Amino acid sequence: MDDETRVRINSDQDIVVARQKGRSLAVALGFSSGDATLLATAISELARNIVSYAKTGDIVLKIIHGSANSGIQIVARDNGPGIPDVQQALRDGFSTSGSLGLGLPGVMRLVDEFHIASVESQGTTVSIKKWKH
Partner 1 sequence: MEVPILKQGDFLIATIQAALTDEDLLHLRTALVQHVVRSRSRGVIVDVTSLDVMDSFASRTLRDLAHMIRLRGAETVIVGIQPEVAFAMVQLGLRLEDVATALDLEEGLAYLNQKFKSSA
Q: Residue 13: which residues within 8 A CB-CB, separation 6 or more?
A: none
Is residue 24 close enough to count as binding partner 1 by CB under 8 A?
Answer: no
The binder of partner 1 chosen from 38, 59, 74, 116 (CB under 8 A): 38
Kindly report the backbone phi and psi dihedral angles of residue 77, in degrees, each rounded to the nearest multiple of 5, phi listed first: -130, 135
The stretch among 19-27, 61-69, 74-82, 115-123 that binds partner 1 (CB under 8 A) is 19-27
The SS3 assignment for 19 reads helix
The binder of partner 1 chosen from 7, 9, 44, 80 (CB under 8 A): 44
Residues 72-91 that bind partner 1 (CB under 8 A): none
Is residue 55 close enough to count as binding partner 1 by CB under 8 A?
Answer: no
**Strand segments (E) across the chain:** 4-9, 57-65, 70-78, 113-119, 123-131
In whole angstroms, what is the distance from residue 49 CA to residue 14 CA?
12
Sites of contact with partner 1 (CB under 8 A)? 12-13, 15-16, 19-20, 23, 33-34, 36-38, 40-41, 44-45, 48, 92, 95-97, 99, 103, 105-107, 109-110
